[in-house]
A = this chain, B = another copy of it.
């Protein structure tokens, strides 16, 4: 394969003619495919149908001795705290089980800081300026939260080991307005990068200028391996924080949205005792308690973390051919062309693609024109502004493998076409 940038104008022009023709042919097929969101597929959901009757003809008492059908138990039932604690590798005492979405738990954590401050600090809404660090590319819904609250977002480049920690340390220690950082530490969205042990240790040892600085550790893909033979391991952060004398610096979040049913899962916030005490004090005014029957459903279904992990292997078996279908096309069609790069993740829900600078929007637009919906270009950056207009998030989980191959064929065609145009323009 010859790199595009080594081609002559004539070669590129001939290539363009050929690609244009191919594109028109695909367009004529009127595809209707969606690789835009990290949604489980119907076949993943189908395998969980036993869940629906799991509470029929069984005791609805929690091991705490209370009736799960009635009011009470703000922290959640002990058996659910244990299950999600085990998912994160931490003690159940650290865990409060919440509602159906960790997104809400994160939103509310920031809302509380806005309205009430953190362990006695000034409420953020009383400050002139609040800033968050945002490793990029990252999760669009994180950025949407901080944007809604008017929090200034600062891009932090990702490296293969996690966020650029030199920059994180500098900004966190120098600027009192920096109150938090969004992290997806395992199988990051969208790159699938797992933070290295050193990165986790450097997070745990941060010396923030702001006493109310917190790491928002969204461990969304804690047990979401995709490939059987290789899986990433994330160092447990609370343990490191304690060692570093920084027990209160992190809020951790997780949910079963991508373990069981999206939208009908259970979620959790985990934190130090001091943080939990404050959270409970606020939370007890916002709710009498979360849905304990749904907590019980999850516990009865999985029994324990081993049951949950066994279940995740079934998800992986369904997802693996999908990831492979996309990666196979990328590798076959784009290797050596030097018009894009991508990371082969071991888990998570996404494949991240970087085009030549200034091409992402156009590639996504071309795909859409031919019937394939991708996540909007820029979505992986704060304010939807990718400064180099190059990152595209591919979400291979929802369509079937055959559809994915078709969609990815179109995608690589668009990558080629837009790249050729770009190179011709700049000649």
Min distance, Cβ A52 to any Cβ of chain B, angstroms: 4
Q: Cβ of A149: which chain B residues have Cβ within 8 Å of it? A: 115
Q: Which of B45, B57, B99, B287 is the one whose CB lies under 8 Å from A70?
A: B45
Q: Which of B45, B48, B263, B294 is the one whose CB lies under 8 Å from A288?
A: B263
A114 at the interface (CB under 8 A from B): yes
Q: Are A261 and B144 within 8 A (Cβ)?
A: no
Q: Are A37 and B71 within 8 A (Cβ)?
A: yes
Q: Cβ of A53: which chain B residues have Cβ within 8 Å of it? A: 52-53, 55-57
Q: Are B71 and A39 within 8 A (Cβ)?
A: yes
How far apart sit A100 and B72, CA to CA, in the bound complex (Å)? 13
Q: Are B286 and A103 within 8 A (Cβ)?
A: yes
Q: Are A288 and B101 within 8 A (Cβ)?
A: yes
Q: Cβ of A60: which chain B residues have Cβ within 8 Å of it? A: 52
Contact residues of A between 101 and 116, Cβ < 8 Å to B: 101, 103-104, 107-108, 111, 114-116
Closest to A125 in B: B125
Q: Are B287 and A103 within 8 A (Cβ)?
A: yes
A285 at the interface (CB under 8 A from B): yes
Interface centre among A114, A123, A285 (most CB of B within 10 A): A285
Min distance, Cβ A292 to any Cβ of chain B, angstroms: 6
A15 at the interface (CB under 8 A from B): no
A305 at the interface (CB under 8 A from B): no
Min distance, Cβ A392 to any Cβ of chain B, angstroms: 21
Q: Cβ of A42: which chain B residues have Cβ within 8 Å of it? A: 67
Interface centre among A55, A123, A264 (most CB of B within 10 A): A264
Q: Cβ of A108: which chain B residues have Cβ within 8 Å of it? A: 286
A291 at the interface (CB under 8 A from B): yes
How far apart sit A123 and B149, CA to CA, in the bound complex (Å)? 11
Q: Are A69 and B264 within 8 A (Cβ)?
A: yes
Q: Cβ of A57: which chain B residues have Cβ within 8 Å of it? A: 52-53
Q: Are B115 and A39 within 8 A (Cβ)?
A: no
Q: Are A263 and B289 within 8 A (Cβ)?
A: yes
A293 at the interface (CB under 8 A from B): yes
A262 at the interface (CB under 8 A from B): yes
Given A126-B125, A294-B294, A107-B286 contact (CB < 8 Å): yes
Kindly supply a per-residue 1/0 record for chain A positions 283-318, scoring 1 wherever the CB is within 8 Å of any chain B CB and 0 otherwise.
001111111111000000000000000000000000
Given A53-B53, A56-B56, A70-B39, A104-B287 contact (CB < 8 Å): yes
Q: Are A100 and B99 within 8 A (Cβ)?
A: yes
Interface centre among A60, A123, A286 (most CB of B within 10 A): A286
Closest to A101 in B: B287
Min distance, Cβ A62 to any Cβ of chain B, angstroms: 12
A148 at the interface (CB under 8 A from B): yes
Q: Cβ of A115: which chain B residues have Cβ within 8 Å of it? A: 111, 114-115, 125, 149
A129 at the interface (CB under 8 A from B): no
Q: Cβ of A103: which chain B residues have Cβ within 8 Å of it? A: 286-288
How far apart sit A411 and B288, CA to CA, in the bound complex (Å)? 27
A385 at the interface (CB under 8 A from B): no
How far apart sit A108 and B111, CA to CA, in the bound complex (Å)? 10
Q: What are 23 contact pairs spanning A and B, CB under 8 A?
A: A39-B71, A40-B70, A42-B67, A45-B67, A48-B69, A52-B53, A52-B56, A52-B57, A69-B261, A71-B262, A71-B263, A72-B263, A101-B288, A101-B289, A104-B287, A107-B286, A107-B287, A114-B125, A141-B285, A263-B288, A263-B291, A264-B293, A294-B294
Extra 12 A-B pairs, beta carbons < 8 Å, given A68-B263, A141-B285, A145-B285: A37-B71, A42-B67, A53-B53, A56-B56, A69-B263, A103-B286, A104-B286, A114-B115, A115-B115, A148-B282, A263-B288, A263-B293
The residues of A with any CB-CB pair to B shorter than 8 Å are 37, 39-40, 42, 45, 48, 52-53, 55-57, 60, 67-72, 99-101, 103-104, 107-108, 111, 114-116, 123, 125-126, 141, 144-145, 148-149, 261-264, 282, 285-294
Closest 8 CB pairs of A and B: A53-B56, A264-B293, A125-B125, A52-B55, A107-B286, A71-B262, A53-B53, A100-B291
